[in-house]
Amino acid sequence: MTVAVYIIVMAVTTYIIRMVPFTFFRKKIESRFVRSFLKYIPYAVLSAMTIPAIFSSTGNVVTSVVGTVVAVVLAFFDQPLIVVALAASLAAFLTGFIV
């Protein structure tokens, strides 16, 4: 029963978030500031949700930092997402054996 309630609440929340812009903004947004703000909101929210999870996932800050550094370096060099994820996971895993 509680799972159904969670799914319904998430569905309503997602629906509201997606429909509010359509109801309030009928014409194209002219402000460069507002357009750039709306463009970068998903990246900011994703970062705000991901970064704390990264540093609490392994239970050791050192392994988390090593995995994050590997991921950032590989992403900087435009590696595919699967390569970045696997290399960061492997780096954190191997660091766990060393530390």
Per-residue pLDDT tens digits for 7-32: 998 888 888 887 877 787 778 878 88
Closest residue by Cα to residue 67 from 46, 80, 47, 51: 51
Residue 95 has pLDDT above 80, yes or no: yes
State the pLDDT confidence band at 84, using cuts at 50, 70 and 90. Answer: very high
d(CA 76, CA 70): 10
34-43 pLDDT, tens per residue?
888 878 888 8
Is the entire prediction scored with pTM above 0.85?
A: no
Q: Determine the structural domain holding residue 34 and report its residue range.
A: 2-98
Mean pLDDT (the chain) is 89
Confidence class for position 65, pLDDT limits 50, 70, 90: very high
CB 49 within 8 A of CB 35: no
Number of domain units in the chain: 1
Q: Report whether pLDDT(59) > 90.
A: no
